[in-house]
Amino acid sequence: MQKYIPLAKTVLLKNLNVKAAEQVLIVTDSDLANIAQIFCYAGRELGNETMLVEMAPRSKSGEEPPEAVSEAMKSSEVVLCITKHSLTHTQARKSASSAGARVATMPGITLDMLEEGAITADYTEVEKLTKKYCQVLEQGEHVEIVKENLSLSFSIKGRSSIPSVGVFRNKGESGNLPSGESYIAPLEDSANGRIVIDGAISGIGVLDEPVELTVEKGRLIAATGENGKRLLELLGEGKGRTIAEFGIGTNNKARLTGNVLEDEKVFGTIHIAFGSNKPFGGITEAGVHIDCVVKSPTVYIDQKRV
């Protein structure tokens, strides 16, 4: 594991802009504690007060960490969440950001991902492309996604776009690492239509066959095949089935691997998520957030092809 410490130092310095005397908190679970330890060693070798807190794995993305972990996140200057399931769209992450912490979430990160793929991108280019698409989303009102003669449409009117560029320089900035996506919370009751998911689904992985989703008035009402059944089970019967996010991948080094941390960043893909979106401008708190990746769709914003 020693060979990965220089890579972890690079991430801390270049992506998180860690400065001398800043306190670094690493939140992990028993599944990814070995990788979290690498970043802990890296932080300490840089001379920073670096703390590691381990919890039991969450059961799904979007599930809140224990209160003690949430409090520790709020009182730190730099936070890395190296966990099996994502803490990105949790109130704990939002509260830490509001308190001024720079937070990088790295759900499902692997040793391979520290060396290859999305993390090796030119993040100057990722920032440019991400901001470009965010501007398009910010100015838009209506989105239509077309794939294999199926169409899903929804409103984004009045919602703010979020750039996730994988570089955190200022107080309160947060996002995935590695990263590269522009995303927004659709109006929760506005989505209607059908869409083919042919890339990956978080918690399930790369798909061996496409899943067709049917959405009515913002709610996922049907999903085909065994993987569709698993998706519905992950989301539950309640608010988890509400449309939560529309995202555009902006990292041309990202690969489709079955790990949503990298999958949803692949340039040329979009993703639709269901569940919680209150942490980034929506109104839904569901305790779950599941992303569904679509390869090479056609996207129209206000009837203009993007």
Number of H helices, E strands in the chain: 8, 19
pLDDT score of 288: 94
- As given in the structure block, the two tokens for residue 127 are 């920032």
pLDDT score of 1: 82
Share of the chain above pLDDT 70, in %: 100
Pairing of strands 304-305, 298-301: antiparallel
Pairing of strands 192-197, 150-155: antiparallel
What is the average pLDDT value for the chain, to the nearest integer? 96
Query: What is the rounded CA–CA span in Å between residue 155 and residue 181?
Result: 19
- 96-142 pLDDT, tens digit each: 999 999 999 999 999 999 889 998 899 899 999 999 999 999 999 99
| Domain definitions of the chain by residue range | 2-115, 120-305
Q: 169: Cβ–Cβ under 8 A, 6 or more apart, which residues?
A: 17, 102
With cut-offs at 50, 70 and 90, classify the pLDDT of residue 198.
very high
- 214-234 pLDDT, tens digit each: 999 999 999 999 999 999 999
Provide mean pLDDT across the span 16-45.
Answer: 97
- 133-187 pLDDT, tens digit each: 999 999 999 999 999 999 999 999 999 999 999 999 999 999 999 999 999 999 9
Q: Minimal CA–CA distance to 11: which of 173, 124, 178?
A: 178
Cα 33 to chain centroid distance, Å, stands at: 20
CATH of domain 2-115: 3.40.1830.10
Query: What is the rounded CA–CA span in Å between residue 231 and residue 291?
Result: 10
With cut-offs at 50, 70 and 90, classify the pLDDT of residue 27.
very high
- 243-296 pLDDT, tens digit each: 999 999 999 999 999 998 999 999 999 999 999 999 899 999 999 999 999 999
3-state secondary structure of 302: coil
- 40-58 pLDDT, tens digit each: 999 999 999 999 999 999 9
Query: Could you tell me which residue, 211 or 61, shows the higher pLDDT?
Result: 211
